[in-house]
């Protein structure tokens, strides 16, 4: 903990120095670009006893420290040494054994690179469909889960309760919603982005199941959501408002695309013509909106 506090304080001092120094000596410098964040960092979730977010680059993973051991989640180590950094960060907080690694879903950018956790004895858990998919594809750098789960499982460790829920298909057919009932925190990845449109062409995304799943998650009891990627300004957690906004975005996009399909327009017409100004401040709006439109066009035009 002292290490985390010290590095946070150092960052504040450094930023103060960077901002203050030129102002003292030179008139009105051009505004500096935002400081580049360190390659990885660990943040304790405010108001909790042992809930942390490990961020490596633009990926995030939740871990929970209890007196009897640690529950880690996505190793986020695709072609980068994130798992070693992750374990080192945990070891700055506790020497308790890392008992579990739980996969949010089967996509490699979130789950590759977990071998260092396996080497120290962690049990890997994922949804049954993720386990099957990984056993089929055998990606070189992904630890195959030891255990698969169906619709739910509750993990109890050192007085902490962590529920694993499957709410149906969404951004994959194996996405888990992890919920800490006491802390009222959920961790779920990629399908409920913070102030962002959906990623690229929404590969592996099931429609309209995603919207149905969002309604189930919104109905659950929680206050804060740790997302798989930070939002604008490096924001690491969201609220139900964020989940409701994602549902509204998908509903608005779906309605706009359906109108074009019903009017006999082409893919190109829809991809070029549809604008959703309400969401233009969202991450990925310019780059990904046309691809999101193409995905919804397939759904309304062909039922896929």
Q: What is the DSSP letter of 46?
A: T
* Residue 133 lies near Zn ion (rule: CB under 5 A): no
Q: Minimum CB separation from Zn ion for residue 206, in Å?
A: 13
Binding piece for Zn ion, criterion CB under 5 A, among 99-107, 118-126, 240-248, 268-276: 99-107
* Residue 260 lies near Zn ion (rule: CB under 5 A): no
Q: Which is nearer to Zn ion, 173 or 183 (CB)?
A: 173
Q: Minimum CB separation from Zn ion for residue 191, in Å?
A: 8
User: How far is the C-alpha of 177 from the C-alpha of 256, rounded, in Å?
Assistant: 29
Of the candidates 164, 58, 63, 41, the residue with the CA atom closest to the CA atom of residue 105: 164
The side-by-side arrangement of strands in the sheet containing 185-187 is: 152-157, 160-166, 176-180, 185-187, 224-226, 237-238
Binding piece for Zn ion, criterion CB under 5 A, among 41-49, 80-88, 103-111, 278-286: 103-111
Q: Which is nearer to Zn ion, 190 or 260 (CB)?
A: 190
Binding piece for Zn ion, criterion CB under 5 A, among 44-52, 95-103, 187-195, 206-214: 187-195
Q: Which is nearer to Zn ion, 62 or 98 (CB)?
A: 62
Q: Minimum CB separation from Zn ion for residue 110, in Å?
A: 6
* Residue 190 lies near Zn ion (rule: CB under 5 A): yes
Total interface residues for Zn ion by CB under 5 A: 2
Of the candidates 201, 202, 205, the residue with the CA atom closest to the CA atom of residue 170: 205
Q: Which residue is nearest to Zn ion (CB)?
A: 107
Q: Which is nearer to Zn ion, 183 or 190 (CB)?
A: 190
Other CB atoms within 10 A of residue 99 CB: 17
* Residue 107 lies near Zn ion (rule: CB under 5 A): yes
Binding piece for Zn ion, criterion CB under 5 A, among 7-15, 82-90, 102-110, 258-266: 102-110
Which string of x and - marks every residue 26-65 that binds Zn ion (by CB under 5 A)? ----------------------------------------
By the 10 Å C-beta count (0-12 exposed, 13-18 middle, 19+ buried), 275 is classed as: exposed
- Which two tokens mark 7? 């590095």
User: How far is the C-alpha of 149 from the C-alpha of 153, rounded, in Å?
Assistant: 7
H-state helical runs in the chain: 2-25, 82-91, 108-111, 115-119, 128-137, 209-219, 240-262, 267-273, 285-302
Other CB atoms within 10 A of residue 183 CB: 20
Q: Minimum CB separation from Zn ion for residue 217, in Å?
A: 16
User: How far is the C-alpha of 4 from the C-alpha of 255, rounded, in Å?
Assistant: 46
Q: Which residues bind Zn ion (CB under 5 A)?
A: 107, 190
């Amino acid at each position: 903990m002292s290490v985390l506090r010290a590095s946070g304080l150092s960052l504040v001092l450094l930023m103060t120095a960077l901002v203050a120094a030129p102002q003292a000596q030179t008139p009105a410098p051009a505004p500096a670009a935002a400081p580049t964040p360190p390659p990885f960092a660990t943040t304790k979730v405010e108001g909790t006893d042992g809930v942390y977010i490990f961020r490596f680059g633009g990926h995030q993973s939740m871990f929970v420290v209890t007196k009897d051991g640690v529950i880690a989640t996505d190793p986020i180590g695709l072609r980068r040494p994130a798992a070693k950094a992750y374990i080192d960060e945990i070891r700055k907080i506790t020497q308790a054994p890392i008992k579990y690694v739980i996969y949010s879903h089967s996509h490699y950018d979130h789950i590759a690179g977990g071998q260092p956790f396996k080497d120290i004895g962690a049990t890997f858990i994922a949804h049954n469909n993720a386990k099957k998919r990984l056993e089929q594809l055998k990606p070189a750098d992904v630890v195959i889960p030891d255990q698969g789960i169906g619709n739910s499982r509750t993990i109890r460790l050192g007085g902490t309760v962590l529920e694993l829920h499957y709410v149906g298909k969404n951004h994959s057919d194996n996405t888990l919603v992890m919920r800490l009932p006491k802390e009222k925190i959920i961790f779920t990845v990629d399908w409920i982005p913070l102030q962002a449109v959906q990623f690229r062409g929404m590969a592996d995304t099931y429609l309209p199941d995603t919207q149905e799943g969002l309604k189930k998650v919104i109905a659950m009891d929680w206050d804060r959501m740790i997302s798989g990627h930070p939002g604008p300004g490096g924001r690491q957690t969201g609220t139900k408002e964020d989940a409701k906004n994602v549902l509204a975005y998908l509903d608005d996009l779906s309605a706009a695309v359906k109108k074009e399909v019903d009017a006999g327009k082409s893919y190109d017409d829809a991809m070029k013509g549809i604008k959703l100004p309400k969401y233009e401040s969202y991450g990925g709006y310019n780059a990904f909106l046309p691809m999101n439109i193409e995905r919804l066009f397939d759904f309304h035009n062909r039922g896929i």
